[in-house]
Structure 1
Amino acid sequence: MTRNNRAAPERPTPPEKGPAIDPAIASPQATRDGQPISYSRAPAADLERWIGRLYVTIVDTPPDHRLECGLLSDFACIRIQLRGHWQASTADGIRQSERAAMLFGPQSRRMPISVTGSFISVGIFLRPGVCHALGGPDISAMVDRLDTFTALGLNEERWLDLCHPADRPEDWAKAMEHEMRSLIAERAVREPDPVSARFEAAAFIDPTVSVKRLAEEFGVEQRRLERIVRRDFGMPPKQVLRRARALDMASHLRGVADHDEAEAIALRYYDQSHLIREFGELFGMSPRQFVERPQPLMTLGLETRQARRLEMIRRLEPGEVKPWE
């Protein structure tokens, strides 16, 4: 949506040295300004309808270092936590784990997360509609929540054993893909809805688009589109688009976005007060605070999402060096 009659908001000015980082954190991969990032890639071609992205995060810290941060993800995610003591503030209260396989639902707002000590997390972001296609939990009931694989009736140890310590991150990614193929063969009762895939792409391209316009473009009734999005994203389409807009701005503020899109991302907000209000509602802090405080876990998630987004909208080819690297 073009807003030529609106001036760009006065964007928060990041510190001269870039977004704040936690000096106690070390990672094999990092952005140009030193923020840790994950090893991540697109799935194999046969899994593209089911998987959005695979990632491996390896972070070293002092044993007693407690990292206080948060996550805000727009998709459900299988997370295999291999190391570190994790704590999450969910809609069901505080959940703690160490070595565990879990399904995180999408988040409607920042979920506070802390982790003590060095940590390893391996995961798969599921595309919208996959839980429904696999006969899994109602994704709307999973918003801001998580469940262990044991609670979901899945073989937790089988998934945890996929990642052998001597293997490379790519070996772990391939093992996760293999297990997903098995899960699909065992549990799939239908294909993911193509309408949800089109809505996912639209949110990546322009999250200011109206739901009415998308329904017209997709050739479906608006009420039907709203029902499908609620079922496969866990929330109303307007809320999904609003969150996507905020996540793109957050990626820009943390330095894990395409700089050439900075002005277009800012123009999605009417003015500075609109930006501050919506950002505060979703992230629990102002844009400036978001820049000035270390956000390692949030940045890891944003970077993985932004890599997928840029590949999907054809601003980045798979395997190409990302603008922030």
Structure 2
Amino acid sequence: MAEFSAPFDGSPIANQSQWSRMARRWGLDGVHAADTDSTVLKVAGNGTGNVVLQPGEAFVNGFYYLNDAVKNIAVTPNAGTVARIDLVVLRASMSAKSVVAAYKTGGTSAPALAADEDGVYEIPLAQCTVAAGSSVVTAVNVADRRWFTSAGTTPGIPGARRPSVRGRLLTEGTRLYVGDGAGWQWIGSPGVEEGTYTPQWSSGSTNFHWGSTSINRGLYQVRGRRVDLSIHVVVASDPGGSGYADPLNVALPPGYPCTTAYRSLFHFNFFSNNGEGSAVGLAMTYPDQSTTKIARLRYSMTNGSGQNAVPNAYAMYANTPFNIRPGDIIDISGSYWTS
């Protein structure tokens, strides 16, 4: 196959096929409308032998289409004994050298769209149901089937936004918004789609591990300044018991320290496979001590058995209240904000 490139001086776009091939790379085929509620190129039935097409513009197979006035399109009568499902389409034809709105008959299901980019190419505008023996389409028997196209994402400057356009995307720096017609609603910020790491455990400033064959896995996802985090541990060896005199700590994902504004909370669950029961509680950051760790795993207890007994919360240690041993499981999950 020969190489081709254009347009250059001495190498212009020489025919409609070359134009179509180039122009359809600029954007998707479809109706040009700022809002899907717009009546641009919308089709309606009125109970006569025609359906009505509203003015509007579109791209079809790389070619521009304009209808600048209300247009009646004749309904093909249904001589059959069952209802027929038809389409109103925009049809681009290389041989006819035109794009026109056309009525296309089907059967018990809608007809297939022509999709020959070098011949006839169609996009849908509406689906019409014609009753058996009828030649009219009523309003309730027309379903909107328009494909839409747009200018893509619109860049903006914070504090100087253009009016909201429903369904349009807006970027401000690295933040993404969608318009609802009244304002711009935030939908996303850059982050990490999914990341894993090996959490470093410690007792105070002393690091330790749960054994070379342990499962010690951290999974996180970042959206803007928020980090969703899960940590799962299956212990393979005793970390040392009484050798660690400070509460258990575990590292946050590298590069994502917690905010210093407040303590972030996580759920945690400890399950003993050594007959010592289980504990459920809250893990938390202590940003005044460290912004890179979950500094406490705390569980609730009371100072008595009565209803009025005062509750209290205690920190988990490597040997208190459980002597953590092989087979024991620790799970932590929650979200926190970065600095």
TM-score range, shorter chain: under 0.3
TM-score by length of 2: 0.20
TM-score by length of 1: 0.20
Q: Which has the larger radius of gyration?
A: 2
**Whose helix proportion is higher, 1 or 2?**
1
Structure with greater contact order relative to length (CA < 8 Å, sep ≥ 6): 1
